[in-house]
């Protein structure tokens, strides 16, 4: 029986055979033209008119030489065009048409960029309205989509330690050879112990979910916003996973127990590391009961989220649902520089809130924001975000995060356990709160800023 290879070769030989006589004729014509040109060149020095005539004749003859190249190109094109039809015909005749592969090629490695496909891209939070944020889904190789089993840890605290980490990927801009780190919303990367992976569907395990902001001077953000989804074409150069923070690596020091409380101070898109940590511990929104077996040992996680306004706040519905599902283990406070009234939401505000409903609290109603770290800030929230049939609320303050807020929240109660503070956000915010990182960006640098002034220790603070 003929194979696809035999069929292709036979069709190719037929196509070439039809052109061979013509190619031979043109080859002889080219040889004659070349000899004429060689013999006419000496006469060119003796007789201008004669050489002109000979040169013209030679040119006319030589001008036919590209025809052989044209025929070769035509033959090659014919082979390329005919081959798919031949293979398709062969498959129909023999009933052996190959089925399309559902696996995604490529690898995910920490130190080597590998191409991965962009599965989907949509504006965030409202796909129908252009914004500075996009929600992207990157396809992972099939080999990375296996959930790890928490049950292999006999000590519940060991399981929690493994979940206490935040991991990122790096995406490269090929033409400029620059890369930037992005934190996926859910840790579906190789070696994950996240509860969000255990509670994910089989299709979700093969995806990396990102929220990417487009900055005017950000090459990577602009490139990712322009990228067009194509599940079959790996187009994004990705490496990872890379640990942004790991409790065991950075703060455990080999002997310290799991902290009783983790406070994450975030700003802007810095909320995505906080969100990943929450889903590492408690699973995806709506996945109630994922961590119930070890929930009593879980640290309480408090998110202090600073944003310009409601419109630019990310993941509020998801954060609220996590707080609703996990009771007193998760709390979220939102700090916005500008707030509308509870009944004066713009379309963009409403999109960011999703199903959440803002309600006035009767607290401070001043229209201007308080300067950063001012001690004159009111401690009362202006709004509360809630949803139907849930008791959880997100208080919203019309202020930046101030020293007064941090002092009230971080002052330890008598007899309480260890509190760990993570800071994630723009460089200016991190510098003001905890002091700058080292010049190379690889080490923490000394603790400074507001957190040092209110008495926190170096070992209890980590700058993301």
Binding residues for FAD: 211, 213, 272
SS3 of the chain = CCCHHHHHHHHHHHHHHHHHHHHHHHHHHHHHHHHHHHHHHHHHHHCHHHHHHHHHHHHHHHCCCHHHHHHHHHHHHHHHHHHHHHHHHHHHHHCCCCCCCCCCCCCCCCCCCEEEEEEEEEEECCCCCCCCEEEEEEECCHHHCCCCCHHHCCCHHHHHHHHCEEEEEEEEECCCCEEEEECCCCCCCCCCCCHHHHCCCCCHHHEEEEEEECCCCCHHHHHHHHCCCCCCCEEEEEEEEEEEEEHHHHHCCCCCCCCCEEEEEEEHHHHHHHHHHHHHHHCCCCCCCCCHHHHHHCCEEEEEEEECCHHHCCCHHHHHHHHHHCHHHEEEEEEECCCCCCCCCCHHHHHHHCCCEEEECCCCCCCCCCCCCCCCCCCCCCEEEECCCCCCCEEEEECCCCHHHHHHHHCCCCCCCCEEEEEECCHHHHHHHHCCCCCCCCCCCCCCHHHHHCCCCHHHEEEC
Binding residues: 211, 213, 272
């Amino acid at each position: 029986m003929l194979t696809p290879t035999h069929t292709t070769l036979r069709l190719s030989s037929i196509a070439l055979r039809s052109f061979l006589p013509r190619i031979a004729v043109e080859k002889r014509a080219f040889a004659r033209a070349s000899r004429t040109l060689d013999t006419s060149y000496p006469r060119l020095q003796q007789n201008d008119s004669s050489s002109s005539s000979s040169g013209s004749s030679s040119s006319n003859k030589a001008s036919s030489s590209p025809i052989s190249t044209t025929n070769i190109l035509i033959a090659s094109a014919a082979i390329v065009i005919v081959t798919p039809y031949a293979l398709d015909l062969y498959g129909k005749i023999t009933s052996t048409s190959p089925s399309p592969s559902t696996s995604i090629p490529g690898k995910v490695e920490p130190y080597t960029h590998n191409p991965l496909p962009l599965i989907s891209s949509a504006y965030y939070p409202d796909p129908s309205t252009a914004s500075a944020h996009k929600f992207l889904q990157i396809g992972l190789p099939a080999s990375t989509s296996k959930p790890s089993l928490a049950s292999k840890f006999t000590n519940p605290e060991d399981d929690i330690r493994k979940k206490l980490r935040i991991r990122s990927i790096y995406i490269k801009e090929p033409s400029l050879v620059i890369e930037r780190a992005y934190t996926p919303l859910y840790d579906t990367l190789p070696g994950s112990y996240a509860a969000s992976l255990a509670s994910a569907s089989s299709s979700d395990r093969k995806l990396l979910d990102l929220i990417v902001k487009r900055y005017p001077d950000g090459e990577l953000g602009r490139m990712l916003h322009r990228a067009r989804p194509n599940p079959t074409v790996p187009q994004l150069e990705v490496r990872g996973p890379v640990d942004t923070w790991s409790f065991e690596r950075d703060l455990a020091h080999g002997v310290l127990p799991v902290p009783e409380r983790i406070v994450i101070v975030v700003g802007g898109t810095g909320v995505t590391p906080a969100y990943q940590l929450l889903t590492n511990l408690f699973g995806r929104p709506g996945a109630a009961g994922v961590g119930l077996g070890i929930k009593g040992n879980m640290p309480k996680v408090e998110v202090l989220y600073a944003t310009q306004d409601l419109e630019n706040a990310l993941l509020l519905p998801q954060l609220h649902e996590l707080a609703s599902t996990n009771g007193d283990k998760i709390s979220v406070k939102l700090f916005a520089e500008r707030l509308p009234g509870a009944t004066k939401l713009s379309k963009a505000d409403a999109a960011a809130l999703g199903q959440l409903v803002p309600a006035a609290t009767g607290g401070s109603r001043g229209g201007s924001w308080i300067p950063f770290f001012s001690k004159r800030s009111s401690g009362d929230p202006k709004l509360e975000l809630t949803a139907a049939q849930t008791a959880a609320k997100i208080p919203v303050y019309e202020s930046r995060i101030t020293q007064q807020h941090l002092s009230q929240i971080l002052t330890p109660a008598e007899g309480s356990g260890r509190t760990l503070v993570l800071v994630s956000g723009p460089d200016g915010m991190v510098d003001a709160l905890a002091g700058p990182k080292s010049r190379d960006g690889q080490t923490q640098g000394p603790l400074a800023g507001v957190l040092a002034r209110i008495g926190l220790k170096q070992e209890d603070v980590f700058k993301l």
